[in-house]
Each structure stands twice: as C-alpha cells, then as structure tokens.
C-alpha cells in the first residue's frame, strides 16, 4: 500500500518542557500512534494565516486530514452570540481548521474529525452547535472533567454500513466521550450516522457525497477502545496513489 501522508491539525496551547514555558503546537501521541498503526505517515499542521487564505498550501501536500480534539469553537464561527457557558477558545486555530475542512470537503480529500474535529466539520459545512448540552436538554457528556476514564464510557447506536460503523462496529457500541458541546443544526450534505443513548445526541456525522468525510464525537484514538483508523488511512492511500505521476 502507498504510504499516505496524514496531516494532523495541532492544538495550540500553553505548554511547559525543559525550561520553556510558552505557547506551543501540541500533537498528542495517541493520535499519531493510531495513524501509524493504520499505515499512515502523520505530519503536524500548525495554524498559519497564509493557509487560512490559501488552504491549498497545506492540502496539496497531504493525502488525508485529521482534525483532533480540543477547546470550544468561537460561537461567531457559526453565527451565534457567545453564551456564559462557552469556555476557552483559540480563534487562530478555529480559522485555520475551518479553512482546511471547507477546502478538504470541496476537493473530496479524505477527512476525519474527532470530538472538536467533528464539530469543526459540521460548522465548516454551515451547521451550528449547542454551546452547553445540558442546557439544551441532553445528558452530561463530560462526567469526569479533564479525564477520559470509566465514567465517560457510554452507548451509541451506529448505522450499519456507514463510515462510523467501519470505525466502531454497527448497532449499539461502547465509546468514550468527553465534551460539553455538540452538533445542533446539521451542515449542508451531512447526515447523522450514530446517536448517543438514551439522549439521541448526534455522535457521528458523515457526508455521503464525499469519498470519506466522517466526524465522531468520541475518541477512537484511546487504546482501550481498539478502534483502528484503517479505512480512513486506506482511502487516503488510494488518493495518494491516484495523484502519483504515471
């Protein structure tokens, strides 16, 4: 199989290492390890205003795009006023990832969004978010703030034959979620392919008109879920092979 290059959008947060204490682009190894295990070559993508204006500067160099978890999106990105429930945001990251996600959807580049990444995909397609799930009548999806532990496991109902099912299995499955926001109005072209139980919050969305465009609200990168990214990486490999000169 051709080794596809998977661009992984980095978080941008305060960090400490050695004697440094500053803003840094962060790529958790759990995501990188899952990409490598599936046969992909992960490369970090750092927010840059030039790529916001010209996303092809980045997307021309990768075969698939991975949008990882992180902080809240700025509500203005989906046309809503900020509520008191909105937590920390990183506008430069929002602008970068939304630009890449829109362009990836437009050019049919394989894209996988995880947690915040699913929300980025929905907003990139014109959708909106609930700014705090319990205020909107949904269950608590962050029972252990700051941790992914046993309390964050819950059931989802996954549509058979979907990309979500190829990741997790179909029917009722156990996943591990940690979020207080979620998809409200669906973006153009998106369909829901997994719901949390029993509150029926959208836990996976995908775009049937694209070769692979999937967002999952849970964290398939954690080892104890045993969710492989093989289909995503395989589609990216096919894309890479098609782009190679004859």
Tell me what pLDDT residue 244 has. 62
Please, which residues have CB within 8 angstroms of residue 146's CB and are 6 or more apart in sequence?
A: none
Helix or strand run (H / E) with residue 26: strand 20-26
Known catalytic residues are 115, 219, 221
Place of tokens 């829901």: 192
Instruction: Kindly report the CATH number assigned to the domain that includes residue 153.
Output: 3.40.50.880
From first to last of the 246 residues of the chain, give the pLDDT tens digit. Answer: 689 999 999 999 999 999 999 999 999 999 999 999 999 999 999 999 999 999 999 999 999 999 999 999 999 999 999 999 999 999 999 999 999 999 999 999 999 999 999 999 999 999 999 999 999 999 988 877 777 777 788 999 999 999 999 999 999 999 998 899 999 999 999 999 999 999 999 999 999 999 999 999 999 999 888 999 999 999 999 988 777 654
**Rounded Cα–Cα distance for residues 40 and 4 (Å):** 5
Q: In terms of residue numbers, what domain contains 170? A: 5-243
User: Could you give the number of structural domains in the chain?
Assistant: 1
Contact present, 61 and 48 (Cβ < 8 Å): no
């Amino acid at each position: 199989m051709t080794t596809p290059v998977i661009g992984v959008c980095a978080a941008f947060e305060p960090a400490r290492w050695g004697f440094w204490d500053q803003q840094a682009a962060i790529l958790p190894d759990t995501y990188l390890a899952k990409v490598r295990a599936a046969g992909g070559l992960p490369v970090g993508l750092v927010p840059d205003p030039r790529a916001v204006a010209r996303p092809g500067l980045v997307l021309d160099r990768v075969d698939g795009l991975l949008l990882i978890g992180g902080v809240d999106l700025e509500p203005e990105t989906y046309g809503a006023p900020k509520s008191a429930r909105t937590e920390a945001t990183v506008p430069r990251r929002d602008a970068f990832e939304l630009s890449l996600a829109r362009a990836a959807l437009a050019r049919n580049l394989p894209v996988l969004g995880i947690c915040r990444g699913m929300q980025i995909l929905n907003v990139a397609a014109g959708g909106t978010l609930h700014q705090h799930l319990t205020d909107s009548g949904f269950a608590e999806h962050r029972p252990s703030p700051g941790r992914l532990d046993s309390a964050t496991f819950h059931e989802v109902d996954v549509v058979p034959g979907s990309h979500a099912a190829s990741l997790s299995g179909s029917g009722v499955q156990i996943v591990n979620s940690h979020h207080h926001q979620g998809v409200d109005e669906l973006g153009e072209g998106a369909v829901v392919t997994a719901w949390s139980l029993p509150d029926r919050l959208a836990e996976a969305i995908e775009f049937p008109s694209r070769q692979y465009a999937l967002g999952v609200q849970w964290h398939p990168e954690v080892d104890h879920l045993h969710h492989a990214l093989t289909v995503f990486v395989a589609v990216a490999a096919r894309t890479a092979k098609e782009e190679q000169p004859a």
